[in-house]
Structure 1
Amino acid sequence: MNVVSTRPQKIHPHKFTLWLAIGSIIMMFAGLTSAYIVKGEQPGWSTVVVPKIFYYSTGVILISSLTMQMALKSFKERNMQQYRILLTVTATLGLAFLVMQILGFQQLFNSGVKLEGGAGAAQFLYIIFGLHGLHVLGGAIALLVMFLKAFSARVRNYNAIPVEVISTYWHFVDLLWVYLFVFFLVKS
């Protein structure tokens, strides 16, 4: 006689913490984009043209999400050589995204779009895209830690939880960027 357990599976504490953080981040960006909509209806509102480099950075971050998913799959299959390569590519694409964001902000600034003064989309763009960049930077640092562990001769842990957590976070910041980018394209 087989006994089937009906106990619900528990979520790993790191995954639970990640989902709480993601919920908080969603609420923060929902508040900021809602404020943008409300302020955009006021007199004197000025819009801003999003630099073309942000289009390219969108492609880069989407590709990095694909390479991260492939890295997770490779890790679970214990194909460590492919995992290391894909993790390296993901981290490189993440850093390329951040560099492109900085270049985009420089283009905005050089074209006269400043954070201070005025009333309009520019201030929100700097704040919202800048906060997103900080979250990507946090993800890039986590990727760097994973990268160092992947190439360390001392670490031989095949626990997939840390890789799953960073993968979920990385997909989240990718999707968040797509939302924010499309939001600015539609609302500007």
Structure 2
Amino acid sequence: MERELKYLDIVEQPISMHPKKFALWLFLVTVVMIFAALTSAYIVRQAEGNWLEYELPEIFWITSGIVVLSSVFLHWAYISAKKDNLLNLRIGMVMTVILGIAFLVGQWYSWVALVDRDVFFVGNPAGSFLYVFTGLHAAHLISGVIFLIIVLISTFRLKVHSQAMNTMEMATTYWHFLGGLWIYLFMFLLLNH
């Protein structure tokens, strides 16, 4: 009888996840599907010919470094929050927000560099795809920066600490995802342009 009760205790425990985290993961899956479809369409369209050959702007290397560095600062902030080191948490969040904004500025300058190389949104599909990739990623990144600013404000209101990590965990997941997505897109473009 005791053995059956232990089995029932194990079976009846539901697997739980915070509803907001679950919604975030569903959203991330949809973003993956969108970019998978776009990169597949890129490959298919490129194979048809009439494809503009151009060099990627060098600033893509810089923005890639910026996004990786921002993830390092955010991870440092996350670890600091778990240890209740509020000063390091705030410093890490401020640096992450600054680097996120720097990435967006870098993306703008990459578009300027593309125009200087006669790569436009309208015209050849090669340019159109590049602007769609970078523009769609930038739109998600803007939402990520807004999310980071909300978390940053929460750190100053003492709402992020070792006992209240939900928002911090969600922001960290989203930001690391966006960083990984950018690295994927950059590598994809390096290998397929």
Query: Is the aligned partner of 1:36 residue 2:76?
Result: no
Partner of 2:165: 160
Query: Is the aligned partner of 1:63 residue 2:58?
Result: no
Q: Which runs of 5+ in 1 are unaligned?
A: none
CA distances 1:145-172 after superposition (whole Å, capped 9, x unpaired) = 11122223xx545410000000000000
Query: Is the aligned partner of 1:148 residue 2:176?
Result: no
Partner of 2:133: 128
Query: Is the aligned partner of 1:22 residue 2:28?
Result: yes
Question: Which residue identity does 2:39 align to in structure 1?
Answer: T
| Largest Rg, 1 or 2 | 2
Query: Is the aligned partner of 1:185 residue 2:156?
Result: no
Partner of 1:99: 105
The TM-score normalised by the length of structure 2 is 0.90
CA distances 1:18-37 after superposition (whole Å, capped 9, x unpaired) = 10000000000000000000
Distance 1:43 1:56 in 2: 30
Using a 3 Å threshold, how does the CA distance of structure 1 residues 34 and 156 change in structure 2: closer, same or farther? closer
CA-based RMSD: 1.7
> What is the aligned residue count?
185
Contact 1:46 1:121 in 2 (8 A): yes
Larger RCO (CA within 8 A; separation ≥ 6): 1
SS of the equivalent of 1:10 reads: coil
Contact 2:80 2:89 in 1 (8 A): yes
Contact 1:115 1:122 in 2 (8 A): yes
The TM-score normalised by the length of structure 1 is 0.93
Question: Which residue identity does 2:172 align to in structure 1?
Answer: S
Partner of 1:88: 94
Partner of 2:80: 74
Question: Which residue identity does 1:143 align to in structure 2?
Answer: L
Contact 1:48 1:122 in 2 (8 A): no
Distance 1:160 1:123 in 2: 40
Q: Which runs of 4+ in 1 moved over 6 A?
A: none
